[in-house]
Structure 1
Amino acid sequence: MDRLRIGIIGLGWFGEIHAETIAGVANLELAALCTRTPERLAEMGEKFGVKKLYRDYHDMLADPNIDAVSICTMWDQHREPAIAALKAGKHVFLEKPIASTVEDGLAITEASKSAKGILYIGHIVRFNPRYRMAKQAIDEGRIGKIVALSSRRNIPAAWTPTILDKIGPIVGDAIHDTDIMLWFTGQRIVSAYAQTVDVRGLKHPDIGQTMYRFADGASATLETVWCMPEKTPFDIDERMSIIGTEGIIHVQDTFPNLGIVDGDRLHSPDTTYWPMFEGVRGGALRDEFTYFATCALDGKEVTIGTPEDATAALEATLAAEESARTGNVVRIG
């Protein structure tokens, strides 16, 4: 077999982006779609030319001609389809966060250990070339021992009203930087302290600011703002600094890496994660799917986006959210 026939479970905005990305991956074939909303299912089936359309993911998993699934349901709806897909022998690409509770993350991890198919968790930032180069420099010992890290991951308010009714900025976005910091340091996070700011009165606060302590004594600060002004000219303000005993690394993936001025305003669109070229997504998301397909087809072990790493990042961000609610430092492990 030189191609995986893959189905998507969950057709919200990011499920659609997954479909647009899969279309550009040579060893993947978008073979099936699943959502409970019949109008959305018909719309996406027509858009992508997919004939196998399901409203119940169990029916998709029963199809022997589906080799793999991409799960893009809400984070609190990951456990059941992920475990069912693994039990059905499918390869599973599960979007981050791995789950909404550590218990569910551990259950998914346990199910993957005896599964025929592989399990990959979609922590996309590991496929951003700037962070990959930073990791390479760290592994080469070029900055010595890491003693401090800081990150910023801020996005415009227009993106987030619907999202903030489902997930907050710490678990929703700072989990990316948490995962990267765990990857860079190779250390456990042992405590978390966080504060949040409610700007618009939505279900979850708009702003999260987090501090971590790592097992070896290193510290980290993470800023996540989901309410930058409407006229902000860029899609994301993303930065990270890694300070070592012998050097520093600074990652910046933000305005103005590309500037487009039109009749409306200055735009600086995403050029890294899922940029669109002639109707097909590229960037880090395509690299993720290529990695997933290659591991599945070649029988390789998943070493990036493992469920163990994803659960560690989830545990730390949930601890940070608990800290923000209680005002206390939360110990982990």
Structure 2
Amino acid sequence: MAGVGRFGALHARVWRELGAEVVGLCDVDARRLADVAGGLGVAVVSGDLPSLLARVEPDVVVVVSDEATHADLTVTALEAGCHVFVEKPLALSGAEAWRVSAAAATAGREVVAGQISRFAAPYVRMRQTLSGGGIGRLCALRLRRDFSRQWFLSFGDRVHPVWESCIHDIDLAVSFTGRPVQRVSAVAARAAEDEAPSVVSALLEFQGGVIATVESAWLVPDSAPRTLAGALALDGSIVAEAEVLGADGILRQRLVADDLVEWTSTGAVVPDLSLWPEEDGTVGGALRQEVAYAIDVFLGRRPADRVPLQEVCWGVEAAEAVVASLAAGAPVEVPDRGPDTGRGR
């Protein structure tokens, strides 16, 4: 496993709960690495992935490191003959994403990207209803995901916020349409003293005519109800909404709902139980479903149909175009840099 921060440690736990053996860990933070390895009882550790791979021969490498390292570490693992699970984003450019895809094809190995929203129950249901013809022809999508202001101050500008927040909904839009984005128009606003944009609004135009609006604002105040609960409880809120507009109907989803509300002496909690709820000592929800899917793909039990690598590359291209549109202050055409896959541009 490459990367043992807060989310990396959670990944290690879930993979073990699903029967995988964690044979080695690596991280650039030696103290954190020692703490996690000690807690998990993992003897083989290293400060970098090539050194770790020289000592162990894993079947799978799980990449949960800083975003800028994802593509290189994934290619390193593929060239060592490993399957790879890599957290989102797969890469920070379309060119790097397609480089990963090419490396996977050359190595004959699978890459599963950690686009967890594809496994969250509400979005799964929405996609099933759409694909089953329940709302007719898809016309448009509206996607919004707002985060706590305190999160932006602590990690939201580690990379461009589009790669932290918008990438979730860009990937959902690609998942719903099954097509690449052709054109992007984006605008942004900065809160006081922010060097990176904390508010982003983008219009995505897909091949085939579907449009999607993707919005994100890292401005939810501390007074808002906390929403994250389970094995990775963070103080703060994610306030998300999704609408799928069809010719014969509309699907709507809200993350903050009142089906379960907790009022305590420390404040109000409207817990989302879809991501990684903890029950009877094990982690469930979308994270468990995502890891179980990856294991089945790596073992050849099922095709890589829930998170096709081609669609993940399309999402990275679209996110890169959003960043480019913000920088240019103008619409951006998304270049076709992938293999000949019938994109029809």
**TM-score relative to the length of structure 2:** 0.89
Q: In structure 2, list runs of 5 or more residues that go unmatched.
A: 228-236, 336-345
How far did 1:201 drift?
2.6
**Cα shift at 1:145:** 1.2
Residue 23 (structure 1) aligns with: 16
> Residue 226 and residue 257 in structure 1: after superposition, are their counterparts in 2 closer, same or farther (change >3 A)?
farther
Segment drifting more, 35-44 vs 273-282? 273-282
Question: Could you tell me which amino acid in structure 2 is paired with residue 33 of structure 1?
Answer: L
Match of 2:304 in 1: 302
1:123 matched to which residue of 2?
Answer: 115
After TM superposition, which residue ranges in structure 1, 4 or more long, deviate above 6 angstroms? none
Equivalent residues of 1:86, 1:117 under 8 A apart? yes
CA distance in 2, matches of 1:208, 1:179: 16
Is the CA contact (8 Å cut-off) linking 2:23 and 2:56 kept in structure 1?
no
Percent identical? 28
Q: Please report how far the alpha carbon of residue 299 of structure 1 lies from its aligned counterpart in structure 2 after TM superposition.
A: 5.2
Tell me how far 1:77 sits from its aligned partner: 0.9
Paired residues for 1:83-102 under 5 Å:
83-102=75-94
The answer (yes or no) to whether the contact 1:85–1:92 under 8 Å persists in 2 is yes
Shift of the 277–31 alpha-carbon distance from structure 1 to 2, 3 Å rule, reads: farther
Write the mapping of 1:151-300 to structure 2, written as runs, cut at 5 A. 151-233=143-225, 234=227, 235-277=237-279, 280-298=282-300, 300=302
Aligned-pair CA distance for 1:248: 1.1
Matched, 1:10 2:3: yes
How many residues align? The count is 325
Task: Tell me the amino acid that sits aligned with residue 54 of structure 1.
Answer: S
Whether the 8 Å CA contact 2:178–2:311 is kept in 1: the answer is: no
2 CA distance for matches of 1:188 and 1:58? 34
- Structure 2 CA distance for aligned equivalents of residues 78 and 327 of structure 1: 28
CA–CA separation in structure 1 for the residues paired with 2:78 and 2:291: 18
Structure 1 residues 16-55: aligned runs within 5 Å = 16-25=9-18, 27-55=19-47
Read off the aligned partner of 1:15 and give its amino acid letter. G
Read off the aligned partner of 1:219 and give its amino acid letter. I
The one of 113, 124, 127 equivalent to 1:132 is 124
Code of the aligned partner of 1:307? L
Alignment RMSD, CA only?
1.8
Q: Distance in 2 between matches of 1:176 and 1:33?
A: 27
Unmatched segments (≥5 aa) in structure 1: 1-7
Q: Is the 1:96–1:310 contact (alpha carbons within 8 Å) kept by the matching residues of 2?
A: no
Q: Which residue of 1 aligns with 2:230?
A: none
Q: How big is the shift at 1:29?
A: 2.1
1:313 is aligned to 315
